Each structure stands twice: as C-alpha cells, then as structure tokens.
Amino acid sequence: MLQATINGIVLGGAYALVAIGFVVLFNNTKFFNFAHGDFLTMGAFLGYSFVVSLKLAWPLAIVLIVVAMTVMGLLTELLTRQVVSRRALLIGAIATLGLGLVIRAVIQMTYGPVDLYLPPLVDRPAVRVFGAALSYQQLIIVGFVLVVLLVLYWIYQHTFVGLVLKATAEDPTAAQIMGVPTALVVRGSFVGSAVLAGVAGFLVAPSFSVSLLLGYLIVFKAVVGSFVGGFGSLVGAVVGAVIVGVAEVNAAYLVDADYRNIAVYGLLILLFIVRPTGLFGTKLVEKV
Amino acid sequence: MAETTLTAEPGTAPRDPRRSLVATAIHRPETPPVVVGLLLLLLVGLVSGDGRWLGTTALLLALAVGTVGLNFAQGAAGIFTLGTAAFLGVGGYSTAILTTRYEWSPLLAALAGAALAAVVASVFALLTLRVSEIYLAIATLALVQIFGGMILAYDGLTGGVDGIPAVPAPALFGFAADELLELAILNVVVMTVLAVGAAVVLAAKPGRSFRAVREDHLAAAGCGVRVNRTFNLSFVLAAVYGSIAGSLFAHTIAFVDPTAFNLDISVIAIAMLVIGGSGSVVGAILGTVLLQVAAEVVTEFKGFSNLLFGLVILFGALVSPRGVVGGAHDLVDRVQVLSRFFRRPARVAVARTPRQRDAVARDPGQSLNGAGPVGVLEATDVWKAFGGVKALQGVDVRVEPGQIHALIGPNGSGKSTLINMLSGLYRVDRGDIRLGGRSIGGLRTADRTTTGLARTYQNGRLFKELSVFENVQVPGDHRRPTPGAVGSRWPGVTGRAWAELVIDFVGITHLESTKARLLGFGNQRRVELARAIALDPWFLLLDEPAAGLSGMEQEALVEKLRALSGLGMGILLVEHSMNVVMDVADTVTVLDFGKVIGCGAPAAIRADRKVIDAYLGVS
Amino acid sequence: MKEQLLRVDGVSVAYGGLRAVTDVDISVAAGECLVLLGPNGAGKTSLMHAIAGVVTPASGDIRYHGESIRKVRTEKRVARGICLVPEGRRLFTSLTVEENLRLGRASRRNKHVDESIELVRETFPVLAGRWKQSAATLSGGEQQMLAIGRALATSPELLILDEPSIGLAPKVVADVYRRLAAVLDQGVTLLVVEQNISALELATRVQVLRNGVIVSSGPPQTYRDADVLADAYLGAG
C-alpha cells in the first residue's frame, strides 16, 4: 500500500506537471489548450530522437526540446490569437482538439505506430525512501515538480514579472491601461506552458513509454484532477493531480485492474458533486 | 407609429401562418442540396453494386443521427460535450447485448438503450450543471472513461476487449434488413424521421429556448426561461439520439467493441458538426457525409485520416466556426445587404388571419376583458451593500399600475442596483419587495416573470443570432397568466399571433425576420421593449430605454410608454434623459448615494434645490 | 501660446450602431487642467477611452506633442506619458497597495519608480498606513487615491481622470481634489472628466459634453452658477 501510494505520488507528480502548464495558461489567457498533452508527447518523441537516434547528451537534448517547444508555443499562439482575444472558450477548445489530432498524426507519420523506449536519464539502482523503492527517474520527476513549483512560487511572489502576470490575469484591460504589454504576456504564457509540457514529456517518458497517446491520456486526467483541486488555483491543480495519481495506482492494487479507470473517474465525479468548486478553487464561472 | 428612418436589412421571407411547423422546419435553403446529395449517394451505391460504398453510406447515416443529436447540445444550446462516445456506446452495447443474448427485438433493444441513455444523461446533467456548463464539459470526459472502464470490467456481459460479434440484422415489424441495401434504406428512413423531428423541435419552443440560453443566460432567465432545465433537456436529447445512433451502428457493422466508443469518436462527432454547420440539422448531416466520405477516400494513405480530421477541425473552428451551412447563411445575409443598394427594401406584407387583424386594430386605450390590476409594486426599506459599499440605504419606491414612475439620480446613486434588485438579480440585505401585497423578494429572476414583472437592460441583451420574431417569441413562450388578474388582458391571442401583435405595437413589423444583430441601434431598442412586453407583464422595469436614441425616436418611445400605461401597465423607468422624464413621468423619485432625496411630480423635482445640488455635487 | 500637449480632432466613437461621441474637438495645453463636464451618457468615458487607446475612434485624429497617436497601442501611450485613471478605479484587488503602485514600472517609461512611489506616499499619506494591505480592503476614497497614485507611478505627463468623484462623499471628494491640486503643482497636466462641479476649483478651462457633442466651453467661473449647469444638464426647465 505504501509502495503503491509512493508510486501514486510520483504518477501524480507527472500529472501535476501537465496540470500546472494547463492552469497557468488558462489563468493568464482564459484559454483552454486541449493540445497541451500532445505537447508533452512531442517532448517525449523529440527526446527519443535526440538521445537515442542522434545519441546526444541529455542536457543538450533538453535545450533542443526547449527551443522546439518555444517555436510550437509561438505557433499555437499565432493560430489562436483571435480566439484568445475574443475569449471564445468553446471555439478554442474545439480548435485545440483539432491541433492535438494534427500533432498526433504527424508524430505517427514520422515515427511509425510502434511504441518506443527511452532509457532513463540516470542509470543507477533504485533508492529506498520510507521503506518503499523509488527509481532514480522517479526521483527526477518528483524533483522536477518541486523545482517547477518553487520557481513559479518565487516568480509570482517575489518578482515584477509575477506581479504583471497576476494583474493581467485579474483585469487585462486595466493592466494595459497601466502600460503592461498584454500581447507579450499572452505569448509568453503559451511559450512557457509549451516548454514545460515538452520537458515534462522528456522526463516522464522513461517511466511510461514513448507512445502516441502518452500526453493525450495524461492531459485529461490532469485536467479533471485540477478541477477537483479547484480550477484556477495552482496549488489546487497540483493537489488534485496528485490525488488522481494516488487513486489510480491504489485502485490498481486494491481493486481489479479492470476497474481502475472506473474507480479513478468515479471518484473524481464524486468529488465534483460533493465540492463543485474544488478543494481550493475559486469560482470559475459565476452562475447567475 | 411607423419609423421612417429605415436601417432595414431585408431578411428571409416571413413564415406564412398557414404552413405547418414541420414544413417550415424543413423548408430552408440548405435542405434541397443535402437531400439530393444523400439520394445520389444511395443511387451510386445501388447502381455500382459496390458493397463497400453502400456499407459506408449505411454507416454514415447511423453516425449522422449521433451528430444531429449532438447539435441539440452543442449547436443549439452551446454546451461543449465530449460525452457522445459514451451514449453511442450505451446504445450500441444495449442493442448488442439484448439482441444476441436475450433475443430481444431490435426495436425494443434500441428503445431500451435510448431510455437508459436518457436516465444517465439527466442525472449527470442535474449533478454537474449545478455549477456550470464548463464543469459538465470536463465531467463528460470522465463519463466516457468510466463507460470504457465498465465495458472492460464487466466483460462477462459485454465481452470485454473482444466485444460482441454477430449482432443480428435489424428488423422492423417483421421485415428484416438482411441485405446491405435494405440496411442502408432502413438507416435512411430512421435518420430522416429523426432529423425531421430534430428540425421541428429546433424550430419550435424548445429550440428557441436552447438558442436563447446559449446567447445570453441572464436575458433568457429574464424572459422566463428555466436555464438549467433547458440545458438538461438539450443534453438528454443529445444522449437519446446518440444512443439510437449507436444501436444503428451496432446493426450496421454487426459487431461492437470498446475501441469504437472512445474519446476520439466524441471529437470526430464535434468535428463533423463544426464543419457542417453547428446549429443546423442539415449541417450536422452534411458534416458527417463530408468527413466520412473524405476519410474513406483518403484511407489509401495510412495515418492521413487523422491528420485530415485534425486540420479540418483546427482550421474549421478558427476560420469558419459556423461551418459550411453557417458560412452559406452569412453569404446570403451579405448579398442581401449589398443588394439593398440596388433596390428599395420591400415592405413585407404579412398575411394575417381575420382574428389577428381585429386584435391589431383594437383601440389600445381600451381596458380589456374586465382584467383588473394586480396591485402595487413596491420596494420597502430596501438595503443593499456590496462589501463595504452601501449601494442602497433604506429605499422606498412605489409603482402604481397605469403609472409611469421615473427613477433618476447621479452616477453611483444606486439606480441600477435598485432595478437589479426588483428584477431578481440581487437579493435584499434588509427590507422587502412586494407585488400586489405578496412578497417576491425570494424569487429567482425567471420566477419573477410569472408574477408579472419584465425588464429591459441598459446595454441591450438581445439574442443576437435569433430573428426579431424569435426574440419576441421566447418570452411569449413563457407568458403565464398573472395572479390576481382575471385571466390575461389579451385572451385568445396566443403563440405567433401574440408575437405579431407585440411586434406591430412597437412598430417593427417590416423587420421581423431579420437577425437581431443586423438591426440598427434604434430598432434594437424596440426589440428590447417588445421582448419585455411579450411577457404580458403588469410592471415594466426599463433601464435607460432612451439612451442613444435620436429626438424622433425618443418621441416614439414616449408615445408607446403612454400607450402601455394606458393599458394598465405600471412602468418604472431609470433615465438620464431629462426630456423624456419630464415628458412622460407621472412621478419622479430621486436617488443620491443610495438614499431617496426626493419624490414627487416632475416639475417640482426639477425645481427642487436639493436635487440640483445632488447632481452638481454641491455639498 | 502654450504648447498643445494633446489635440483631439473631430473624433467620433461608435459602438455598433450607437454613436457615443460625434466629431469632438478638444485640446489640452501643457500644465493646465481641462475639465470636461457632462451628464451620464454624454460620451465622456468613450472619449477618454479613445484618448487612452482602449477603443479605436471611428474617425478623427488624436495628436500628442504634435504627433498622431491613433495607431499607437495602449501600453505604448503610457510609455509616451499618457495615463488614464479609469472610471470605477479598476484596482487590482488581488494585489496590495504597494504592488498596485509598483506596476508603474510596467511601461518602462519610469526609470525611477521607487522615487515616484515615495512621491505618491507623500502626496497621499493615507495610503502609507495601508501599504501592505490588499487593495480590496480600502475605503472608496482610499481606493480613488490609490488609483491616482498607481497612474502617477508611471510618471505621466498627461493624467486623465474619469469621474474620480463617483460614489465618494463630498468631504472625501474635496480631499481627493486637494491632492490633485498638488499633482498639478508638480507639473502634471490634468484632463478631468466629471459629472458634478467638484472639479471646478481646480479647472483652468471647462467644456461641457452632452449627447456626444461639445455644447459649451469657457472659464470655470461661468459654470459655478448652478443654474447655468442645471440647464445644460437637466434641460432648460
């Protein structure tokens, strides 16, 4: 049970990385990017190409992934610029579902239908924490999540950029009137979330597999999780994502593997019903 | 009363009241091409003897039912839902299980599936719409996963990963559709019946409610629409159609397995709807045909069909969110606007039945049917604070039936708050709101319309994509006889006749088929007023109705307000235009900093030093 | 003749079919305080939004220091020295008083934000006591002062104020305008839009806006007579 929970926390950490990118983008732009998971998949596949095919060192691979995802983020922002400014959620959601399909199709055409394997970054034996085993890769994932959280916390609480982000998220027009270049904030948010997703993909791929639906499957769980935690709140997103991870792994152990999905999603729906605004959430849309 | 400054955009021909609802629903510009296209498809399959082509047609028709259903939720009501796969699966598996294992008749099996889908959908919607439609959307994600999980888990019943093979051919009333052609024909028939049904629903009251709720929740509630119930209904309809589509699918392919009912197919359904034209039944069918045929043509290239789908959805949503049908409509609108320069807009003569003509000609000053007034509308000692800001402090306002009561005051004095309080948007902190002696303070907006209250909005909240006629029909659909009155003041005038009467009254008959967003500003204001009147209220709350109107338009407005008060309607009017206030008001109440600083006849108020000081900020 | 800092030439603003502002000409000289009076619905906010760049005028031109700024984006106008204190203040309630002020750096016009913030602290001492408090906890008058301070933190040349007296008690309004007098003394040009006469003390010139057009102009003394204004607003009795 402990092992399961520890594994669940790590899985939840992976989900949290996805959730964070998704929520940060939404907070700053009020836009749902359903292709976010596929950005993660891109990172995994690109990582495979760089490390396995081209035999590059992994730090270089990460740099290249950052560059590639920056381009991807800018491209996505360009495509959806009108939608974002008009705040048309529905159209944006549909468009990004389409974008996700395109990305997956391109990946499949480039890499073929077979799942690939990305070896772990560090080849060392597992570590024991509180009596449970953790592979180094899992440690890296957890470590990365913590680093990201710390960095984000520092940015929001202690830097001018964070101030600008908070102001823009609250009232973009008022921010503009104060001289904030809101177009840049939007662009930066897209790039930031895309880069985070790509790097996250590279890091989690060894534990999962470099597969076409890697991000696609994760993003929906992560999004549902972030709603449970309370949408709009970063802390909520992380907590919710971790809950999903823990629930999923424990479900596999406690309950027949077939019931895994039901248990997880059923739990989520239950939480929705009990606490619709989520554990930490603020109202997403006010019902009048 | 007719306005001479026309900014009219000629719209489509108004509906002939002698034509039935069904005929109107079907007779749209986009229907013939698609019907012809479908027939051609069938013909090609028949003539060529190509089994594959017939098979594709049959399959596509089954899916089209699902897309038409999705249109209720997404196209009409504007709910984003990824649940299509789950409901398809409910129908598909119900049919498969019941016909193979328990030897039910296909018809009963399909109906059972539909019933199950309806139950699941209503419970689901009930639970998630409490919060918002966005939560519904995310929760449908979970629903699809849960469904998938259940299929795999209860593999004794469902065959798990392997699925259920050899689903028998569908049979209706003894005729079994064994041949591919027969199957295709059966699917055509079912789809046509369901599509016509959907078109009729959308052209009638439920469809109007869906579209109203999609355009503007608040205004819809103000027209008496039960917003949550409306969303629920659209979602349930989508689920039922989805289930039937799934049943047809099971018969057509003669096999069900879990891979057919995953998230991808929900996304594809959305794509089909968006491409074809969200909001239109024919558009849903068109989109299904287009994408399915394209996918068939392109399966030569491995993996390309997903790319195609993806690109189509992406650019379809960005470039033309209203799809082929929507784009065609826009084109037609634009052509009509251009052609305005080449011909004078025709005054459209609307055919009326004799009874309606009588109703229109009746002298508006006459009090009808012995219907008596219902009492007074009053706010008593009302207090309201928002955080630290005291918006209203012990305000008393009293509106008598047949009286025009103006509410004036400088910016920030609490006028909007008071109107919002009366209409049900805010609750009082202290004090009460009464109509005819009955307290209505606890009622929600939609419920207050049944008590005889109607309002207009400062910023104008018309249903932009609906025609003028439909805008007025929505509140007309929800018109209820008001308590305390002896029936309605206009007995026997219902449905379309009522809408026509109201539209004639505000003087906008010639524009009744035009989409609200194409109207000039003055005309939009008329529609606002018409919408409020269409609720047949006893009291009208008007929020700055004269704002932005020209002098002539203001005079026309004053004339109508006088006519309305002559009919026994009590009117509370928030206004800044002193011309209008002095002209039309019987009583004037002045607010300043949330307190009443004067109440009386207009001339007295105009001369009142305190009032002048309040406006000019002299302390 | 004093330099015309801001010139608005024949500007019209329309929202859909509604013409909010029709063919308006105003000009503001450096160092003066122009007050635009007008009842609600007169188009004052629309005009201010056009000057600040929040909306695009349907016609006409806006010149700042002689250069047309019609195509200049909102945030760039702040960088050039135009800052709007919007109607209703629009403070960032998720931020503290200090944080709202620090945003003055956003336009990168002001290289000495800390000095500006100090100046704001001196001009509005009441804010000093609430430095680390959330902007949402301030009273109406304090919020107005913070809104003005926030704009001052961008080191503006031209400060535009849209109805600063809304919802404030007369005594508080007087206090706010005393502070604004100090701001004027510091060399900032003011363009104030108001519904009432509270700004007349401070005004160099007054213009009256009604139904989207300028209906009268003149020195402030003319409008101190309440009847003159009442006629302009409430319609000749």
DSSP string of B405-467, one letter each residue: EEEE--TTSSHHHHHHHHHTSS--SEEEEEETTEE-TT--HHHHHHTTEEE--TT----TTSB
CB spacing of A176 vs C75 below 8 angstroms: yes
Indicate the pLDDT class of residue B435, thresholds 50, 70 and 90. Answer: confident
C-alpha to C-alpha distance for C169 and B410, rounded to whole angstroms: 13
Tell me which chain C residue has its CA closest to the CA of residue B546. Answer: C41
Q: How is the beta sheet containing B377-386 ordered, strand by strand?
A: B389-399, B377-386, B430-435, B438-439
Contact A166 C92 (CB under 8 A): yes
User: What residues contact B464, with CB distance under 8 A and at least 6 apart?
Assistant: B215, B515, B516, B517
* More confident position, C100 or B332: C100
CA C129 to chain centre: 25
Helix/strand/coil for B248: helix
- Amino acid A147: pLDDT: 92
Q: Do B307 and A97 touch (CB under 8 A)?
A: no
Sheet holding B587-592, edge to edge: B453-455, B539-543, B570-574, B404-408, B587-592, B595-600
Residue to mutate among B143, B145, B270, B322, with most A CBs inside 10 A, is B145
Question: pLDDT at residue B253 above 90?
Answer: no
Contact flag C167-B412 (C-beta cutoff 8 Å): yes
User: Which chain B residues are within 8 Å of C140, Cβ to Cβ?
Assistant: 388-389
pLDDT for position B465: 83
| Amino acid residing at B359 | A
pLDDT at site C107: 83
pLDDT band at B303 (very low <50, low <70, confident <90, very high): low
Query: Does the beta carbon of C215 lie under 8 angstroms from any beta carbon of chain B?
Result: no
List, for residues B92-148, the tens digit of each pLDDT value: 999 999 988 888 888 889 999 999 999 999 998 888 877 677 778 778 888 998 898
The pLDDT-based confidence of B24 (bands split at 50, 70, 90) is: low
B462 pLDDT band (50/70/90 cuts)? very high
Single-letter residue type at A223: V
Contact B356, B501 (CB under 8 A): yes
pLDDT at B546 over 70: yes
Name the packing angle between helices A182-208 and A214-230 (round to 10°): 120
Question: Between B326 and B67, whose confidence is greater?
Answer: B67
Mean pLDDT on A152-169: 90
Token output for B249: 């699918």
- Mean of all residue pLDDT scores within chain B: 80
Task: Give residue B477's pLDDT band: very low, low, confident or very high (50, 70, 90).
Answer: confident
B touches which chains (3+ CB pairs under 8 A)? A, C
Could you report the per-residue pLDDT of A68-88, keeping only the tens digit for each?
999 999 999 998 887 777 666
- The DSSP bridge partners found for residue B77 are none
The whole domain housing C70 covers 4-234
The token pair at A76 is 């996505």
C16 vs B52 pLDDT, higher one = B52
- Window from A84-93, B6-15, B458-467 with minimum mean pLDDT: B6-15
- Output the pLDDT for position A278: 65
Cβ distance B311 to A104 less than 8 Å, yes or no, reads: no
Closest CA to B286 of B41, B44, B22: B41
Quick one: CA dihedral B180, B181, B183, B187, positive or negative? positive
User: Which token pair is B364?
Assistant: 């508006």
Alpha-helix runs per DSSP H in B75-179: 84-100, 106-128, 133-153, 155-158
| C167 → closest Cβ in B389, B520, B612 | B389
CA pair distance A91, C236, nearest whole angstrom? 52
Q: Which residues of chain C have pLDDT under 70?
A: 1-2, 16-17, 40-41, 226-237
Residue percentage of chain B with pLDDT more than 90: 22
- Other CB atoms within 10 Å distance of the CB of residue B492: 11
For A95-120, what is the mean pLDDT? 86
* Average of per-residue pLDDT values in chain A: 83
Q: Could you give the CA distance from residue C95 to residue C93 in angstroms, rounded to a whole number?
A: 5
The pLDDT, as a whole number, for residue B478 is 84
Considering only the beta carbons, identify the residue of C86, C93, C108 that sits closest to A177.
C86
pLDDT (0 to 100) of residue B373: 57
Separate counts of helices (H) and strands (E) for chain B:
25, 14
- Which residues of chain B lie closer than 8 angstroms to A97, CB-CB? 267, 270, 313
Chain C interface includes B595 (CB < 8 A): no
Residue range A54-72: mean pLDDT, rounded: 92
- In tens, the pLDDT along B342-387 reads 443 443 444 444 444 444 344 333 333 444 556 888 999 999 988 7
CB-based contact (8 Å) between B402 and chain C?
no
Written as one string, the DSSP assignment of chain A is -HHHHHHHHHHHHHHHHHHHHHHHHHHHH----TTHHHHHHHHHHHHHIIIIIS---HHHHHHHHHHHHHHHHHHHHHHHHHHHHHT-HHHHHHHHHHHHHHHHHHHHHHH-SS-B----SS----EEETTEEE-HHHHHHHHHHHHHHHHHHHHHHHSHHHHHHHHHHH-HHHHHHTT--HHHHHHHHHHHHHHHHHHHHHHHHHHH-B-TTHHHHHHHHHHHHHHHHHTT-HHHHHHHHHHHHHHHHHHHHHS-GGGHHHHHHHHHHHHHHH-TT-SSPPPSS---
CATH of the domain at C199: 3.40.50.300
CA atoms within a 13 Å half-sphere pointing along the CA-CB vector of A36: 32
Return the pLDDT at A103: 93
Is a pLDDT exceeding 80 seen at residue B548?
no
Report CB contact under 8 Å: C94, A166. Answer: yes
Chain B interface test: which of A32, A91, A101 (most B C-beta within 10 Å): A101
B411 near C CB under 8 A: yes
| Contacts for C177 with CB less than 8 Å, ≥ 6 apart | C198, C199, C201, C202
Question: Nearest CB to C196: which of B7, B577, B615?
Answer: B615
What value does the mean pLDDT take over residues B150-176? Answer: 79
If one counts the domains in chain C, the total is 1
Contact C234 B617 (CB under 8 A): no
Mean pLDDT, to the nearest integer, of B584-595? 90
pLDDT for res A277: 67
H or E stretch including C42? none
Nearest Cβ partner for B310 among A105, A276, A287:
A105
**pLDDT value of position B1:** 27
What mean pLDDT do residues B474-478 have?
88
At C178-233, the pLDDT tens digits run: 989 999 998 999 999 987 788 888 999 999 887 788 888 888 888 877 666 666 66
Residues in chain B with CB shorter than 8 Å from the CB of C198 are 617
Nearest CA in chain A to C85: A177
pLDDT at B287 > cutoff 80: yes
